[in-house]
């Protein structure tokens, strides 16, 4: 009985608040002469704060055409803006800036949705050793990370030198599919200096001041470091979860003036790889068995940062520049 009453009260409160909110919006429009979309665009600066408010306003509208405007094809955005202006009875000649602002917001909103679909497609595509393009990308990863050490064979223990688990990397891509490989290659190719440094650090024990003899005497192993490629695939999973949960909207709406792209996602991956590397060192874990704890703590820190509507993880959309100058 108590459970039923609680649910009944919650339902009543929901409808009361919803009706009250609509009445309040009506009163404010009458007083200001502006609809909610106008007030957001005129009173909120461009970026995540504005776009997320526009997105919430459209999705929460009682008008079906406004609700579905966040799901249109990019080519239909201009027509959608015209429809919104007509529905809201806004004269585009008197309010030219409103159309421009709404268009920028819708490009970001629709672009984010399309980016999720593109990333999901890559994640679902398995690595195929019979596919020449897949093999070419894998070999490119080796060449970028180990330019002075030729790969002796496609199936080789050498792959462990860049952090794969066995002599054939294809088995390590099962969780993230081609997305993991795409991200690792991007990091190695476009942030080569940083990627090589992170790889070198990951292969060395944190107590590097010890001599080789002291190291062998203490019988420490490489577990104090971590496997570069495996961690890269794991951080790909972290970035993927941030994306599909919507947490990355704050970042992308602040760094992408229009639709966020796969390149934005890969640049974000570069940033996360470097930040996780620093975080791992600061956490000073005993061994690799603490990886999940450190990863979860890092994930929560990034989530907290993204709760700030002004947050941009890599503001200038150039991970290599921002990392080198840190």
Residue burial 23-53, b: 16+ Cβ < 10 Å; e: rest: eeeeeeeeeeebbbbbbbbeebeebbbbbbb
pLDDT tens string 30-85: 444 468 999 999 999 999 999 999 999 999 888 899 999 999 999 999 999 999 98
Strands in 245-284 per DSSP E = none
pLDDT of residue 15: 53
Given a cut of 60, is residue 233 above it in pLDDT?
Answer: yes
Over 60: is that where the pLDDT of 19 sits? no
Would the pLDDT of 136 be above 70? Answer: yes
- pLDDT tens-digit profile of 251-298? 999 999 999 999 999 999 999 999 999 999 888 888 888 999 999 999
- The alpha carbon of 291 is separated from its chain's Cα centroid by a whole number of angstroms, namely 21
- Residue among 50, 71, 318 at smallest CA distance from 42: 50
Q: Are 80 and 103 in contact (CB under 8 A)?
A: no
Q: What is the pLDDT of residue 13?
A: 60
Mean pLDDT of the chain: 85
Three-class secondary structure of residue 270 per DSSP: helix
Q: Is the pTM of this model over 0.95?
A: no
Taking the CA atoms of residue 205, residue 207, residue 212 and residue 215 in that order, the dihedral angle to the nearest 10 degrees is -90
Rounded Cα distance, 57 and 326, in Å: 39
Contact present, 249 and 112 (Cβ < 8 Å): yes
């Amino acid at each position: 009985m108590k459970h039923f009453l609680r649910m009944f009260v919650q339902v009543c409160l929901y409808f009361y608040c919803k009706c009250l909110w609509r009445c309040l919006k009506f009163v404010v429009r009458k007083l200001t002469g502006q609809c909610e979309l106008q007030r957001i665009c005129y009173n909120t600066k461009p970026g995540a704060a504005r776009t997320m408010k526009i997105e919430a306003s459209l999705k929460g509208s009682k008008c079906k055409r406004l609700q579905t405007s966040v799901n249109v094809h990019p080519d239909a955005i201009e027509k959608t803006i015209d429809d919104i202006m007509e529905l809201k009875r806004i004269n585009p000649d008197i309010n030219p800036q409103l159309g421009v602002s709404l268009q920028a917001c819708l490009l970001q909103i629709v672009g984010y949705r399309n980016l999720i679909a593109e990333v999901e497609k890559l994640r679902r595509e398995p690595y195929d050793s019979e596919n020449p393009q897949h093999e070419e990308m894998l070999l490119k990863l080796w060449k970028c990370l180990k330019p002075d050490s030729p790969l002796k064979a496609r199936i080789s223990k050498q792959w462990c030198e860049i952090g794969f688990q066995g002599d054939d990397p294809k088995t390590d891509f099962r969780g993230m599919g081609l997305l993991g490989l795409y991200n690792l290659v991007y990091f190695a190719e476009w942030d080569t200096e940083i990627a090589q440094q992170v790889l070198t650090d990951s292969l060395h024990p944190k107590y590097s001041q010890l001599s080789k003899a002291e190291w062998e005497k203490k019988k420490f192993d490489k577990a104090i470091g971590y496997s570069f490629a495996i961690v890269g695939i794991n951080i790909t999973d972290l970035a993927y979860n941030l994306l599909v949960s919507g947490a990355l909207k704050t970042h992308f709406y602040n760094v992408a003036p229009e639709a966020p792209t796969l390149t934005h996602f890969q640049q974000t991956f570069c940033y996360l790889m470097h930040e996780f590397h620093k975080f791992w060192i600061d956490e000073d874990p005993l061994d690799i068995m603490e990886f999940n704890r450190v990863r979860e703590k890092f994930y929560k820190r990034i989530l907290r940062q993204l709760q700030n509507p002004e947050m941009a993880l890599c503001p200038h959309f150039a991970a290599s520049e921002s990392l080198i100058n840190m």
